Chains A and B, each alone.
Chain A
């Protein structure tokens, strides 16, 4: 073992930053999205196919508790992941901090509204009531 006069601390504390959290979120959500998004896509678009999808089919599927949870997860993760992606892309090209703030807020509202619409629909569907 060689002698050293190490000045460096073993560990440092770095204050959290939103972009950092977002970056980490993009990566971990990605892992979840592989089963969620791919399975959904393969099932609906490839295996079942749009020609077999009907209102009844949709209602039936959305009413199933297992699918309900699955779809909620998909909605939550995929759309949040995607919208943060869009935010990042805008961040690259919009330099005026005020404009970027405004755009971010619009994106946030857009995200909330769409997610709410999707969530309300998903949660409320109940074949017995139809």
Chain B
């Protein structure tokens, strides 16, 4: 796996800019979401195959750790989605806009939009989490 090594040292040793971060984040968020999705499909299907287990699963999901993971998941899907649209748009409709200025800016805009979407959602989810799991805010 010497290539793996170059790749990892590459990521560590190369100071890429916005485009590189976008690529890395897109990949990491995509993999994160797909991992979650695989589990999620299986656990949801317990509703049909093993309703008893489903109750346990839901309880696990309600734990604080999973709660936080869920907040991260929401970010992943927001960023992956916005950035994915950015990539798809440029690739399919505006190849000429793959310029340094526009790429840097569009990446930052994508990140900005994801954060704008995520922060209120995360706040709300955190609020619910604290309310249910720690009895705060009169939960």
Contacts and interface: CB of A to CB of B under 8 A. Distances in A.
A114 B125 contact: no
Q: Which 9 A-B pairs have the closest CB atoms?
A: A82-B34, A121-B45, A121-B48, A27-B88, A118-B41, A51-B132, A30-B84, A46-B121, A49-B128
Contact of A42 (B85, B121, B128): B121
Interface residues of A, number: 44
Interface in A97-130: 110, 114-115, 117-118, 120-122, 124-125, 130
A92 to B, nearest CB: 8
8 contacts: A38-B77, A50-B70, A53-B61, A89-B27, A117-B45, A117-B49, A121-B44, A121-B47
A122 B46 CA distance: 10
A26 B128 CA distance: 34
Contacts, number: 111
* Chain B: number of interface residues, binned into ranges: 35 or more
Interface of A: 26-28, 30-31, 33-34, 37-38, 41-42, 45-46, 49-51, 53-55, 58-59, 62, 75, 78-79, 82-83, 85-86, 89, 92-93, 95, 110, 114-115, 117-118, 120-122, 124-125, 130
Nearest to A113: B42
Given A27-B92, A45-B125, A58-B47, A82 B30 contact: yes
B67 interface: yes
A97 to B, nearest CB: 14
